[in-house]
């Protein structure tokens, strides 16, 4: 079946502009995660959605970052008033459930460049 998809693949934006990044999880997966991978760094957890429960936003670096998940499926990560330090690869992952033993499947990521 289809894996996790993300769009756009690459995004270049000017400092101060807003951007939206999209994630389509694997069908039937109830858990969805966003991670950020900055140059030379590992992946940093941003936000987590599980079904219709309130998301865990504990990893969001500032209030310029927000995310939503509509209908328990597609998710959008929005970054307002982008800064150069927001340049990174944003990876989305989904899993069948949130339990510790469920594998997370990753999408190909969106490379964001803020000029």
Partner 1 sequence: AQTVTQSQPEMSVQEAETVTLSCTYDTSESDYYLFWYKQPPSRQMILVIRQEAYKQQNATENRFSVNFQKAAKSFSLKISDSQLGDAAMYFCAYKSGYALNFGKGTSLLVTP
* Cis omega (within 30 of 0) for bond into 22: no
Task: Return the number of the residue (25 or 107) whose C-beta is nearest partner 1.
Answer: 107
Task: Return the number of the residue (50 or 73) whose C-beta is nearest partner 1.
Answer: 50
Task: Tell me the C-alpha distance between 2 and 9, whole Å.
Answer: 17
Q: Smallest distance, Å, CB 13 to partner 1? A: 19
Residues that bind partner 1 (CB under 8 A): 31, 33, 35, 40-45, 48, 50, 56, 59, 89, 91, 93, 98-101, 103-104, 106-109, 111
Task: Return the number of the residue (28 or 42) whose C-beta is nearest partner 1.
Answer: 42
Task: Tell me the C-alpha distance between 42 and 91, whole Å.
Answer: 12
Task: Tell me the C-alpha distance between 29 and 10, whole Å.
Answer: 25
């Amino acid at each position: 079946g289809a894996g996790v998809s993300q769009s756009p693949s690459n995004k270049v934006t000017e400092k101060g502009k807003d951007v939206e990044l999209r994630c389509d999880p694997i069908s039937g997966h109830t858990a969805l995660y966003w991670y950020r991978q900055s140059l030379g760094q590992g992946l940093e957890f941003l936000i987590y959605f599980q079904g219709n429960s309130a998301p865990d936003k504990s990893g969001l670096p500032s209030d310029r970052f927000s995310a939503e998940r509509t209908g328990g499926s597609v998710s959008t990560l929005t970054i307002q008033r982008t800064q150069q330090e927001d340049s990174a690869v944003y990876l989305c992952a989904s899993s069948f459930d949130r339990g510790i033993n469920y594998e997370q499947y990753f999408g190909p990521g969106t490379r964001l460049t803020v000029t």
